[in-house]
Structure 1
Amino acid sequence: MSHGKQFTLYSSVPAPNGWKVAFVLEELNLTYETVFLDLRGKEHLKPEHVALNPNGRIPTLVDHHNGDFTIWESDAIMYYLVDKYDKEHKLTPTTENDKYTYLQWLFFQSSGQGPYFGQATWFMNFHSEQLPSAIERYQDETIRIFGVLESVLSKQEWLAGNKCTAADLSFVPWTNIGVDIILPKREDFNFERDYPAVFAWHNKVKGRKSVSKLLALRAELLKK
């Protein structure tokens, strides 16, 4: 593979986590090539990818300008990118306490939103049998996560540092799944009515040039 671009990003078209990383790469104007792996075909478990990522999941990032340094886990990758390449603090706060708050939200996204939304999607669409109790549990957790975000974003515009950071970006793909796939049929859920601050924040982040560009690309690739 040619390494004319600085990064190689191993991702997947339908899966959310690779797109979080791509948002940051675009925001920082870093050059990268995306290799989309077919998860149904288990390309992520092939030896050449597992040699880079022993967890055998996506995303995986290789930094060719840093001795082919390889890092996996989406929010760890995002942290690496902004810590090493965002010297102007485009996507990170500048004060010490805000930096810790920013990290808090990155951890919350990866430990709270991602797993709960992922389990909801699994039990609703991919599990071998329908388990209503499991579906209800993870739908309820999805709603709870929106409540946590609403409690904060109803008082401030962004999660940390009074500006859009990588933490804000990290929520976008999974929030889309929550709204479009997990909760549409729940009578007790109306995104704009029940979570107006999260609704406004989410649409504001989606409207950023980098995010809207990549979400449009994802939509086109899903049609193929």
Structure 2
Amino acid sequence: MATNPPEPIRVWLTPPGPNSWKVIFLLEELGLNYVIKSFSFENVKKKPFTDINPNGRVPAIEDPNTDLTLWESGAIYQYLIKTYDTKRQLSHDAHKERHLESQWLHFQMSGQGPYYGQCGWFQHLHAEKIQSAIGRYANEIKRVISVLEGVLAAKDADKQWLVGDKMTYADMAFVPWNFRLAEVLNQSWDEVWDGAPRVRAWHEGMVGLPSWKRSMEIRARLMDEQGLQWNGVPKGVETFDQYEKDIAARAAAGEKK
């Protein structure tokens, strides 16, 4: 168990997207004291949230124990590990391993998150289908997975982690976006992992953890409170195709104003 803050860390989030659950997953796995400030995505660029994060993106945290407000999920990860993972439950103390953990976290933020997010946008949310954009980002997803597959393949069977011989925050950071891959790529779960058996086993081992399951139970409750289905589509909208048509209609209506 990590060193627990006496006052709960406040986590500001909108429930649908993956990045907020990256932070909740870490908080749950460390067993830290926290509370969630959940709000609608339509208010992410408005006060009071922009007083917390002027960039208007979730997640953000406020830690009253250190008088720190922080945004960007990677920065939050590094802060929580440095401040509260004093027993090195999810990190290493050695110089080499500490920098390798940081390397993988930066790869997740620069390589995985942006490409997966852009693929999801052009696959499902952009007002018109641009196949070249969908293809570009889908190919980048496969490239990121191939990088991970190659690294895990080079490790001993009992050390299938990115750094050292245990799960660290570097591994955990990849879970929320990989969890959404079937939706992002519009493929079956088996198709998603074609040619990447080690990455699939690595990922499925982590989503089997009680901390991840608790995180997803919290997400389901918050999504329900906002009238959203698991994929972020409002209740009553049965398919992504229907949702895309609704987005396109609203975009067209906006252009006419």
**When the two structures are superposed, what TM-score results if normalisation uses the length of structure 1?**
0.90
Question: 1:142 is matched with which residue?
Answer: 141
SS for the counterpart of 2:92 is: coil
Partner of 1:214: 215
User: CA-to-partner distance for each residue in 1:155-205, whole Å, 9 max, x for gaps?
Assistant: 231011221111111111100122x2122438xx72444110000000111
Q: Say whether residues 1:170 and 2:173 are aligned partners.
A: yes
Residue of structure 2 equivalent to 1:6? 8
Secondary structure, counterpart of 1:203 in structure 2: helix
Alignment-mate amino acid for residue 160 of structure 1: V
- Compute the displacement of 1:107 (Å): 0.1
Root-mean-square deviation (CA), in Å? Answer: 1.7
The answer to whether the 8 Å contact 2:185/2:192 transfers is no
Instruction: Give deviations 1:18-63, integer Å, cap 9, x for gaps.
Output: 1111111112221111112211x2x111221111111110000000
Aligned length: 215
Specify the SS of the correspondent of 1:61: strand
Report the AA paired with residue 86 of structure 2. K
Alpha-carbon distance in 2 for matches of 1:13, 1:87: 29
Which residue in 2 is equivalent to 1:36? 38
Counterpart residue identity of residue 62, structure 1: E
Q: Which moved more, 1:22-31 or 1:196-205?
A: 22-31
1:80 alignment counterpart: 79
Structure 2 residue aligned with 1:48: 48
The one-letter amino acid of 2:165's match is N
199-208 or 155-164, larger mean C-alpha shift: 155-164
The Cα offsets for residues 129-163 of structure 1, whole Å up to 9 and x where unpaired, read as 11010001011111111101100112231011221
Q: Secondary structure at the match of 2:180?
A: helix
Q: Which amino acid aligns with 2:114?
A: P
* Aligned-partner SS, 2:44: helix
Deviating 4+ runs (over 4 angstroms): none
| Amino acid in the other structure paired with 2:94 | T
The sequence identity of aligned pairs, in percent, is 39
Q: Which residue of 2 aligns with 1:203?
A: 204
Letter in 2 for 1:154: A
**Alpha-carbon shift at residue 94 of structure 1 (Å):** 2.3
Give 2:124's aligned residue. 125
Distance in 2 (alpha carbons) for counterparts of 1:36 and 1:147: 35
Q: Which runs of 5+ in 2 are unaligned?
A: 1-5, 228-257
**Aligned partner of residue 88 in structure 1, secondary structure:** coil
The amino acid that maps onto 2:185 is L
TM-score, normalising length: structure 2: 0.79
CA contact (8 A) 1:106 1:170 kept: yes
